Amino acid sequence: MKDAPFRIAFSALMIWGAMATSASAKTLNIVASFSVLADVVQQVGGSHVQVKSLVGPNGDPHQFEPSPDDARNLKDADLAFISGEGLERWFEKLVTASGYQGTPVIVSTGIKLRERQRKGQISDDPHVWNSPLNVLVWVANIEKALSAADPEDADDFRVNAARYIRELRDLDAYAHARIAPVPAQQRKILTSHDAFGYLGRDYGITFLSPLGLSTETEASASEVARLIDQVKAERVKFYFIETSNDPRLVQQIANATGAQPGGKLYAEALSRPDGPAPTYARMFRYNIDLLAKAMVPASN
């Protein structure tokens, strides 16, 4: 067969090309501080990234205590992403312990932060991801960092980011559609700590909580008493516990006020893969659906 040498040469060329493409493909080893952020990085990075989350599913990013394995993972990372704004106060010590030589990407840079005053001190609210509009800023910062680390795949990062931005805008529209029918005076919820301020701002929901911006804070007896009076005065009908922290205090307040349980909200962590909130998008929809279901019956 006269074309046999050609076919052999062509096959060899194709195999060499496939091997060259595989060799040139780059997978970035990424560490993200907590599971919500890890998912968003994965959405933008796609097949070009391998993401490890330091704080796992259902974990509390405020009170996290890193392990030696976390230090090793960070040291080996090509890039590290944190939310910033005081959320991961443990991260600086982890950098020192691990010997990580890079500069972490602070994805919340550029977000207009919500300020809260407690016991005479003003603090920025770090729970920015509970607004999809804030996560748009995350996506831009993540795409920029990934493209700088892996310029050859920048086009893919840009396409992934554009797709995810559309999904985030759909989430925002979905939340407005679910919450809008609820009368404004009934959009009041009792939760464990002040983690849903951005969600409340965007969709007109008032969240009351005994703890401040961090689960590391403590509420005094007088603060709890004042909150009980406020919950009664404002006729707050439902309370929610959070999957990542201790529910006992909010349950104590609910028992004193008659507030009924509405379920478990995912404030600062995703669920495990087989749970109801394994991705940021599913977490946000799950929270909105649960809140809307609790508030709507109160209008009847």
Q: Could you report the per-residue pLDDT of 236-266, keeping only the tens digit for each?
A: 999 998 887 778 888 998 899 999 999 999 9
Q: Which residue reads 């379920």 in tokens?
A: 263
- Provide the pLDDT for residue 12: 42
Summarize pLDDT for 44-91 with one digit per residue, the tens. Answer: 999 999 999 999 999 999 889 999 999 999 999 999 999 999 999 999
What is the model's pLDDT at position 224?
85
Inter-residue contact 195 to 127 (CB < 8 Å): yes
Both tokens assigned to 42: 């994965």
pLDDT tens-digit series, residues 80-90: 999 999 999 99
Banded model confidence at residue 4, pLDDT cuts 50, 70, 90: very low
Contact 125, 196 (CB under 8 A): no
**Cα 217–Cα 222–Cα 224 angle in degrees, nearest 5:** 60
Lowest mean pLDDT among 205-209, 216-220, 292-296: 216-220
